[in-house]
Amino acid sequence: MDGDWEIHGPHLEVPIVYVGYALYDKWRPNLNISEKNRLEGTYVAIYPKAVYEVEEPEDWYKVSPEQRIDCFKRRIVI
């Protein structure tokens, strides 16, 4: 985790959304075996039923299905 996390809500449509910087493992198959897994980071908006990648923390409410992070493929470290 890097920096402070923001908490938005509860709102009528969304109970609570957590927004902050998270690290995840990124698989890089074209690198040698010792370099294949490495941590990368991104801003995320954690909704009750999904996690989305966002450009900036203030974009937490502008999420679209294309920004959804499959948490089973990327291990998020908060």
Q: What is the pLDDT of residues 41-52, one digit of tens each?
A: 889 999 988 999
Whole-model pTM: value is 0.70
pLDDT digits (tens, 9 = 90+) for 55-64: 999 999 999 9
Beta-ladder partners of 53: 44
3-state secondary structure of 13: coil
Per-residue pLDDT of the chain (78 residues; tens, 9 = 90+): 556 899 998 878 778 999 999 876 665 555 554 554 566 788 999 998 899 999 999 999 999 999 998 765 555 555
Encode 5-34: b = buried (16+ Cβ within 10 Å), e = exposed: eeeeeeeeeeeebbbbebbbeeeeeeeeee
Instruction: Give the separation between CA 60 and CA 21, rounded to whole angstroms.
Output: 12
